[in-house]
Homo-oligomer: A and B are copies of this chain.
Amino acid sequence: MTETPAPKTQRVRVKRMHQRGAYDRATIDAILDAQPLAHVGYLLDGAPLVTPTLQWREGDHVYWHGSSASRMLERCDGAEVCVTVTLMDGMVMARSAYNHSVNYRSVMLLGRARIVDDRAEKEMRLRNFVEALFPGRWDKLRAMTEQEFKATTVLALPIDEASAKIRAAPPGDDDADLDIDVWAGVIPLRTQTLDPVPDPRGRQGVPVPDHVRNFRIG
């Protein structure tokens, strides 16, 4: 999050990944792996657009996908993009408005995206996307048709120029404010998965598999 200056927080910034050590990269990977929701920034007629989509990481790349007719995917191919992934972990309640903040984990990836052209790789990426979210599901699904395969585009972005920001701390109040009679602390936030809702159409009574029961974000 942007916040007022002089935050008393732990921060990890990696301007250029290839100049930094393993700890920073592990931090970045952990955030990418914890949050499938990404916001992709790209240019359309010289102006920035930000589109939400799901990302997944495999090794040194993140991937996202969509319709082959998608304007976003078309504009990202071969172009400079910014992929930002954020988890909001808590509202930080201080004794002054100025020191209010948010606990969060965020990664910003910069670079040039490219379409995954190779047929075998594209199929593998799509399979890995489903399997990363829902282990064991892919082989139970109706197989992709050729038409569906052609109608789907996968984009790749190397994890090269990346930065992570983390705030995970109590309020950073000034010492002089500590005796003020107002509640201060953190309201923790997390993504909750509720009971799965079976499709009202189709075959009924299919048992809920572990990959549904155990699905978590965060």
Contacts and interface: CB of A to CB of B under 8 A. Distances in A.
Contact of A72 (B2, B43, B66, B184): B2
A62 B48 CA distance: 17
Nearest to A92: B199
Nearest to A39: B39
B70 A97 contact: no
A94 B142 CA distance: 9
Given A170-B199, A198-B183, A48 B42 contact: yes
Interface size class of A (residues with CB under 8 A): 35 or more
B212 A199 contact: no
A77 interface: no
Interface stretch (A9-17, A114-122, A171-179): A171-179
Nearest to A73: B2
Most chain B Cβ neighbours within 10 Å, of A86, A100, A183, A206 = A183
| Identical copies of this chain, number | 2
A157 interface: no
B191 A208 contact: no
Given A152-B4, A188-B197, A202-B178, A49 B141 contact: no
Interface of A: 1-5, 37, 39-43, 47-54, 64-70, 72-73, 80-84, 86, 88, 91, 93-98, 100, 102, 104, 106, 108, 110, 126-127, 130, 133-134, 137-138, 140-142, 144-145, 148, 151-152, 170-171, 173, 177-203, 206-209, 212, 215, 217
14 contacts: A2-B51, A41-B82, A49-B108, A88-B191, A98-B145, A170-B200, A178-B203, A180-B203, A183-B198, A183-B207, A183-B208, A184-B206, A187-B194, A187-B215
Given A2-B70, A47-B80, 12 more contacts: A1-B54, A4-B65, A41-B48, A42-B48, A48-B80, A48-B81, A49-B108, A52-B104, A88-B191, A97-B127, A186-B199, A191-B192
